[in-house]
C-alpha cells in the first residue's frame, strides 16, 4: 500500500479526555464478521440481525456503561466486509462504539470514490463483496469513514487509540506527519522482499505516559511494549480477533474460524528503526 493513498479522507483527532470509559478496544477486523460477532458476544454486546437479504439491518446493544473502540482496518482480506461495516456503523451511530480509520479503510474509500487504486492486499475481495450492495450503502459507508477521527485521546489523557500507533509528542496535533503515522506507523518508504512496506518498531522507542492501543501489525498475542499494546492478532490470516478491556487491561480473544488470507509475512513486531535509541 503506497502512502500516496493518504490524503484528506479523515477528520482530525478526537479529544475525548473527559470520557473515562470503560472501553473494549478491538483490533483489525478485516471482514471477519463471524469472529466479530463472537467477540462482541464474549464482551457482553448483543448483535441482532433483521430484514431480508438485500435489505439487512443490524442493531447492537452494549453492556451497561461500556463502549467498543475499533482500531480500524474493518475491510479487506476477510469474507464479510459489508457485514462488518453494518455492525460497526450501527454501533457508532447508536453511541456504543467509536472507531478510527485504518490504511485499508482509507484506500477502500478511494476505491468507492472511483479513484484509481491497486486492487491488492484484499481490496479485490472487498470490491467483489460490494458488487451486490446498493448505492445507498456505498454512500453511507463513505460518509461513515469520512467522519472518523484520525485518532482518539481518552480517559484523562491516559489512553490513545490510533490504527498504527502514535508517538507521545504527536498527541494533540493534527499535522500531515501525525495523520500519516496514525495510518501507516513508522515506515522507510521502501518495500521488503514480500512487496510490503518496510515498517519499524516505533513502540520499542516509545517513552510516553499515555497508553497507546493500536493494530496494523499482526502479532501472535497482545503484549505491552513500554506503554503500548498492539491488538491486531491477525484474525483474517487464521489468527485471532482480540480486544483490550480498558481500564482493566484484560485481553479477550476469539480464534478465527478459518484462514481467509494466507499471510506473506510472519506475525510479529517489525525490526527496530536503524539507529534506534533504546
Ligand atoms: Mn490491518
pLDDT score recorded for residue 161: 98
Ligand 1 centroid vs 74 CA: distance in angstroms?
8
Ligand 1 centroid vs 11 CA: distance in angstroms?
20
pLDDT score recorded for residue 10: 58
Ligand 1 centroid vs 278 CA: distance in angstroms?
26
Ligand 1 centroid vs 32 CA: distance in angstroms?
12
Ligand 1 centroid vs 26 CA: distance in angstroms?
12
Ligand 1 centroid vs 30 CA: distance in angstroms?
7
pLDDT score recorded for residue 5: 38
The candidate with the shortest Cα–Cα distance to 15, out of 218, 160, 181, is 160
Tell me the CATH class for 3-254: alpha beta
d(CA 74, CA 101): 8
Ligand 1 centroid vs 53 CA: distance in angstroms?
28
Whole-model pTM: value is 0.95
Ligand 1 centroid vs 183 CA: distance in angstroms?
10
H helical segments located in 130-219: 135-146, 176-184
The candidate with the shortest Cα–Cα distance to 105, out of 16, 182, 195, is 182
22 cis-preceded (ω within 30 degrees of 0) = yes
Ligand 1 centroid vs 233 CA: distance in angstroms?
9
3-state secondary structure of 18: coil
Ligand 1 centroid vs 52 CA: distance in angstroms?
31
pLDDT score recorded for residue 168: 86
At which residue does the C-alpha cell 480477533 appear? 241
Could you tell me which residues are beta bridge partners of residue 225?
Answer: 228
Pairing between β-strand 14-16 and β-strand 152-154 as defined by DSSP bridges: parallel
pLDDT score recorded for residue 188: 87
Ligand 1 centroid vs 121 CA: distance in angstroms?
10
d(CA 102, CA 100): 7
Ligand 1 centroid vs 51 CA: distance in angstroms?
30
Mean pLDDT in consecutive groups of 10 residues from the start of the chain, 278 residues: 43 91 98 98 98 89 97 98 98 98 97 94 96 94 96 98 96 94 93 88 96 98 97 98 98 98 93 87
pLDDT score recorded for residue 275: 87
Ligand 1 centroid vs 73 CA: distance in angstroms?
5
Ligand 1 centroid vs 217 CA: distance in angstroms?
6
Q: Where exactly are the structural domains of the chain? A: 3-254
* Residue positions counted in the chain: 278
Amino acid at each position: 500500500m503506497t502512502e500516496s493513498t493518504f490524503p484528506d479522507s479523515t477528520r482530525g483527532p478526537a479529544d475525548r479526555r473527559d470520557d473515562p470509559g470503560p472501553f473494549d478496544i478491538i483490533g483489525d477486523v478485516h471482514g471477519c464478521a463471524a469472529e466479530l460477532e463472537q467477540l462482541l458476544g464474549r464482551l457482553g454486546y448483543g448483535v441482532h440481525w433483521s430484514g431480508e437479504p438485500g435489505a439487512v439491518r443490524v442493531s447492537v446493544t452494549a453492556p451497561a456503561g461500556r463502549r467498543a473502540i475499533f482500531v480500524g482496518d474493518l475491510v479487506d482480506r476477510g469474507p464479510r466486509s459489508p457485514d462488518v461495516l453494518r455492525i460497526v456503523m450501527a454501533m457508532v451511530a447508536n453511541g456504543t462504539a467509536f472507531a478510527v480509520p485504518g490504511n485499508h479503510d482509507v484506500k477502500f474509500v478511494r476505491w468507492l470514490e472511483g479513484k484509481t487504486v491497486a486492487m491488492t492486499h484484499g481490496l479485490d475481495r472487498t470490491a467483489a463483496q460490494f458488487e451486490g450492495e446498493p448505492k445507498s450503502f456505498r454512500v453511507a459507508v463513505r460518509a461513515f469513514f469520512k467522519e472518523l477521527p484520525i485518532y482518539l485521546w481518552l480517559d484523562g489523557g491516559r489512553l490513545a487509540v490510533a490504527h498504527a500507533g502514535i508517538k507521545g509528542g504527536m498527541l494533540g496535533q493534527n499535522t500531515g506527519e501525525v495523520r500519516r503515522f496514525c495510518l501507516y506507523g513508522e515506515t522507510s518508504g521502501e518495500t521488503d522482499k514480500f512487496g510490503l512496506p518496510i515498517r519499524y518498531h516505533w513502540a520499542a522507542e516509545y517513552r510516553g505516559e499515555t497508553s497507546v492501543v493500536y493494530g496494523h501489525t499482526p502479532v501472535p498475542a497482545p503484549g505491552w511494549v513500554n506503554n503500548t499494546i498492539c491488538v491486531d492478532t491477525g484474525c483474517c490470516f487464521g489468527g485471532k480477533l482480540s480486544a483490550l478491556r480498558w481500564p482493566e487491561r484484560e485481553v479477550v480473544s476469539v480464534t478465527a474460524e478459518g484462514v481467509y488470507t494466507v499471510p506473506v509475512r510472519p506475525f510479529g513486531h517489525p525490526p527496530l528503526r536503524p539507529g534506534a535509541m533504546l
